[in-house]
Structure 1
Amino acid sequence: MRNNRIVTWAVITVTALTYTGCSVPVLVHKTENKTVPVSYNNSQESANTGKVSWKTFFKDPYLNVLIDSALNNNQELNITMQEIEISRNEIQARKGEYLPFVGLGGGAGVEKRGRYTNIGASEATTDIKPGKETPEFLPDFRVNAFAHWEVDIWHKLRNAKKAALTRYLSSVEGKNFMTTNLISEIANSYYELLALDNQLEILQKNIEIQSNALRIVKMEKEATRVTELAVTRFQAQVLHTQNLQYDIQQRIVETENRINFLIGRYPQPIQRDHQTFEKLVPDLMQAGIPSQLLENRPDVRQAELDLSAAKLDVTVAKANFYPSLAISASVGLQAFNPVFLTRLPESLIASLIGDMAGPLINKNAIRAAYANANARQIQAVYNYERTILNAYIEVQNQLSKISNLEKSYDTKSREVQALSTSITISNRLFSSARADYMEVLLTQRDALESRFDLIETKMQQMNATVNIYRALGGGWN
């Protein structure tokens, strides 16, 4: 009869605890949209430059040395590596939560029961032979092994471990995306440095040409063929050009130090060969198809993994509405005298307890945690879709930029050629008094600006190839 009552109460308890899980709030969910356009500008080529290793993509040996050094010494990248280590340790922590916890313990003490307590009164009234009564101060010695295990019946702990693993993989993709950005930043700065070197060289050649022109004008003044005004205007032009070189020299220093900072070292000269800049020809970039961005871009894969982890968090939060089952067990030896610990089975102690508990009233905290997990999952959906959209637009912009810069460079080259010819013509006409000195000055100024613009366009071309390489997901592999 007593056993029937125990079974009845157990059934009632389990039924009540199971019922508590039936009132899970219904929330609005959102499914991610992975649809992307089928092509870039109606191109169906499948070859993708983003899959090429950076050591193959960049052919300048000086640049490759800088990139390799940065990948080893960049402080921000090394900080991210430690974040990956933290994520890896979090997996072990989550894994340990759904495995049984086993421990070994022992203890010793002494206890005195009060005379007017339940146990004290019972001991005093017990009929024990003289000399055999319980001591007033009773020692206690114990050695035991114990275990505790929360049975993961709803896969709450297992899903939490999966979420930690997913976030670890996400942190790895974050490191890959940082690697891609670091490589592109160093390459862009390196090409900017080469462009500045060439602009400085052009300035120095122009200073020499303008100084020679100034000497000729002074000779013309002595021959009374020109006035003092022409001399001062030519002199001002020389001073203006000389002043420009100081600005470029400062930009060179700052660009070198930007590269040094990315490499993680104190300022020092950057090894390079600026003579190769004019010979650089932008590589033919193959963008492949947009769907490859889902595989190639580390930031897209990171956003996808973050979304997967957020979905698992919702499942974990939902499991909190259901009852949990915990099992505790203990086995050991206990006696009031250490000598008796070896006497079996009298000194043997053991216990086995099953504990089931679940929320019944006032679930506000659980509901709030569930709603927050769902809201973060919706945020992750929007972030994933935004990341894909941004990746596609970046590639589209760079493809258009490469095309327009190619046309611009061709036009600028012809402009430089025409202005270089006009300098010779203007000097000849000025020498024969058939042209005004202002025509000579304006021609020299226009020619200098056009050469600067040509170098700037070349730099933008090289930067565009670097940027589309990054946009396609290249550099991290």
Structure 2
Amino acid sequence: MKLIYKHSLVIIGFAVLILSACVTQKYETPKVTTADLYRDNNTTDTTTIANLPWKNLFNDANLQTLIQQGLNENLDLKQAIERIRIAQATLQQSRAAFLPTLQADVSVTDAKQSQAALNFPPGVNINLETQTYRAQLSTSWEADIWGKLSSAKRASYANLLQTDAAKRAVQTQLIANIANAYYNLIALDKQLKITLETVKSRTNNVETMKALKEGALVNGAAVVQSEANLYAAEVTIPDLKRSIRETENALNVLLARVPGTILRSDLDSQTPYSDLQTGVSAQLLKNRPDVQAAELSFRAAFENTNVAKTFFYPSLTLTASGGLSTLQLADFFNNSVFYNLIGGITQPIFARGQNKARLTTAQAQQQQAFYTFQQTLLTSGQEVSNALYAYQTATEKETTRAKQIASLTKAVDFTQELLRYSSATNYTDVLTSEQSLLAAQLSGVSDRLQKLQAVVNLYRALGGGWK
């Protein structure tokens, strides 16, 4: 008998698997094109900076401290962790759906009938009030014939993995945001320093113009022009200071801190990471957390479609209850046992179009998730290409900009000397060369910032910062 029982269980289990496979489908990773996502970078070397720990990419000790503080305290990252906990609880709930429910119920019922309503003959004396004491256990279990519970569990598991990938995406973005804000801050410091030095130099020029006027070498217009040139530099200082303050405040928000000063070094001490290896574009599927999250979202939608299909088929439910019930508390454990067993199959016949609408919605959501996955992958390739080209163009500009600044510095010196010793030169020549020099120096800082931030953006675009 035991052997027959075991064989029966095997046959039933095998039949359930076959029936489930007929309704639900097995998930397969969607086929998407990953070739040539980087544009003009068809390398076959799989080495990528995405595998570098972030501390190896950023050698500034102050920046390293800020990034670590952000990873410990950032509120967006903490919210992402809480979303993981929610997904874990949902997965646990979907796993528990395979187990039967069990409920306990203890009750005391006091009931009294109306003598007038019972219509007994005269002289009949019956107790119209009764007390019923009842204690029972009840259980219910649904057989996963069509794979509904299994698909729901797989969907919950995919959602859990998706929230974990989303948390890693938040982390990579956080590291990039902190680094970019930090570099922007020290670039603003450098621009403020250049502007202050320019103001100091132009203040001396004003005094020189006044002295030259007294010597009849220049006229009053030159003095006024020199003063206007000084004010043109001074008026930019408040905006630079405001930008510095706002950048500090933005950094503090990333660190979950109140507004305050940010400890930092300077732009001149920064050495951009130069070995910018990207690997092959297919590696984005395993390195980019947001790409992983998009695929897992599609996977969850795929399993939800499987669940929607099962609603068209009958469900098998087994329920049982049993316990003790008596009218006299003293006889509670004497001949008061009761139980019932129910096995039922429910086949949907007419559900007002709910099952069809559920399936249509699930299929549309699955297709949306697939398009989102494709879009995320294409966007990631675009970001890698943009960051690489930004680094390349910044490097080209740095070389040319250095030559421009050197030439403009000489031009300022030459025109100032000519103004002192030649009446053929007017202050407009000096003014033009000084303004051009300041603009070139500030642009040089922007070039340096672009190069530093291009490395950060490339690192994030490749999926670095979470390993």
- Structure 1 length as normaliser, TM-score? 0.87
SS of match in other structure, 1:342: coil
Residues 66-105 of structure 1: pairs in structure 2 closer than 5 A: 66-105=66-105
Identity %: 31
Would you say the 8 A contact 1:32–1:382 is kept in 2?
A: no
- Alpha-carbon distance, 1:279 to partner: 4.8
Residue in 1 that maps onto 2:35 = 37
* 1:432 lines up with 2:421 in the alignment: yes
Would you say the 8 A contact 2:151–2:306 is kept in 1?
A: yes
- Alpha-carbon distance, 1:141 to partner: 1.6
Would you say the 8 A contact 2:37–2:382 is kept in 1?
A: no
Residues 27-426 of structure 1: pairs in structure 2 closer than 5 A: 32-37=30-35, 40=38, 41-112=41-112, 135-274=127-266, 276-277=267-268, 279-343=270-334, 346-426=335-415
Residue in 2 that maps onto 1:473 = 463
Separation (CA, whole Å) in 2 of partners of 1:234 and 1:312: 74
Separation (CA, whole Å) in 2 of partners of 1:280 and 1:451: 19
Residue in 2 that maps onto 1:15 = none
| Cα distance change on mapping 1:231 and 1:302 into 2, 3 Å | same
Separation (CA, whole Å) in 2 of partners of 1:207 and 1:347: 101
- Alpha-carbon distance, 1:416 to partner: 0.8
Separation (CA, whole Å) in 2 of partners of 1:137 and 1:55: 81
- Alpha-carbon distance, 1:157 to partner: 1.8
Separation (CA, whole Å) in 2 of partners of 1:279 and 1:394: 23
Residue in 1 that maps onto 2:440 = 450
| Cα distance change on mapping 1:314 and 1:457 into 2, 3 Å | same
For the aligned residues, what is the CA RMSD? 2.7
Residue in 2 that maps onto 1:10 = none
For residues 291-320 of structure 1, what are the alpha-carbon distances to aligned partners after superposition, in whole Å with 9 as ceiling and x for unaligned? 000000011000000000000000000000
Would you say the 8 A contact 1:334–1:349 is kept in 2?
A: yes
- Alpha-carbon distance, 1:94 to partner: 2.1
| Cα distance change on mapping 1:31 and 1:104 into 2, 3 Å | closer
Would you say the 8 A contact 1:30–1:378 is kept in 2?
A: no
- Which blocks of at least 5 consecutive residues in structure 2 are unaligned? 1-18
- Alpha-carbon distance, 1:115 to partner: 7.9
Separation (CA, whole Å) in 2 of partners of 1:174 and 1:370: 27
Separation (CA, whole Å) in 1 of partners of 2:36 and 2:230: 56
Separation (CA, whole Å) in 2 of partners of 1:246 and 1:113: 90
SS of match in other structure, 2:332: helix
Separation (CA, whole Å) in 1 of partners of 2:260 and 2:174: 19
SS of match in other structure, 2:379: helix
| Cα distance change on mapping 1:315 and 1:143 into 2, 3 Å | same
Residue in 2 that maps onto 1:13 = none
Counterpart amino acid of residue 460 in structure 2: R
- Alpha-carbon distance, 1:208 to partner: 1.5
